[in-house]
Amino acid sequence: MRYSDIRREIAAGTAAETLPRWAGRVLGDIGAGRAAASAVRHPLGFLCIPVERSGALGVCLHIWSPEVAPARATTSAVHCHSWELVSFVLYGSVRNTRADVADAPAAGPDGATHRVFEVVSRGEVDELRATARTVRYAAGDAGVHGTGAVYSLPAGVFHSTVIEDGPDAATVALGRQDPGRGDLSLGPLEGGSHEARRLRCGPDETVRAALRSARRIEAAHPYPAAPGDAVPGPRAAGGRAAPGCDPPGPYPSAARPGPGGFRR
């Protein structure tokens, strides 16, 4: 499945029938060594496995897993994308909290709480540029999205995302670049410009996370076996890869991430 296929399934209301099978097959193939992929530790706490990058469009699997220690963020979890996000929750519970952000001076009793950082990605490195813009932040409306839910966020909306009800969750994340937007993050007022290097998971870590996620998908979306369903290699510890439609191949490596904000 590609970006257009997934959007079509979501619009038709059939995503819960097709996307778990597809994602389970992608992860099962990675876990069994039939497809090469390297998960990237994202600074917002999840593992990113890129699946498609086609111009302004991208598809990634985002996995929150205890199998791999998360990367450390250098600013904060409050950020906005340069791309429109549409996500389908494969399993787990995802809370998105929109942020109320208002420009404010750095000093004074009602002054700013954060500085805005511009995030510019270059290969394996994120450059976080401290801007002159300072803002006052407060948590806004929040929504909790469980297994099978679809949620979206326009480009340019500040928000934060956390996982509830346990350490495991995964989404199919679709991005469509908005050329008029930038990738931004809120950081400390006194913070300065700096760089952060993306950390890739090792092959064993990627396999463990992929197999665990495939098993969680199968548990969250039980369905009868279909002809041609494959069992991952012995590393699956008895688990069966979730079946589904054939994914595109070969899978892009983590060196080809989704659109800009997918890296933030």
Residues 228-245 have pLDDT tens digits of 444 343 333 333 333 333
Check pLDDT > 60 for residue 81.
yes
Short-list 147, 20, 45, CA closest to 92: 147
Does the pTM exceed 0.85? no
Check pLDDT > 70 for residue 257.
no
Cα 262–chain centre separation: 7
Residues 43-57 have pLDDT tens digits of 888 999 999 989 999
Interatomic CA distance for residues 158 and 140, integer angstroms: 10
54 pairs with which residues across the strands?
Answer: 57
Which pLDDT score is estimated for 57?
Answer: 96
The per-residue pLDDT of the chain, averaged, comes to 84
CA distances from 224 to 26, 66, 169, 212, 217 (A): 18, 28, 23, 20, 14
Residues 161-191 have pLDDT tens digits of 999 988 899 999 999 999 889 999 999 999 9
**∠ at Cα 260 (62, 120), nearest 5°?**
120
CA dihedral for 13, 17, 22, 27, sign (positive or negative): positive
Q: How far apart are the first and last CA of the chain?
A: 24
Tell me if the bond preceding 250 is cis, omega within 30° of 0: yes
In which band, very low, low, confident or very high, does the pLDDT at 67 lie, cut at 50, 70 and 90? confident
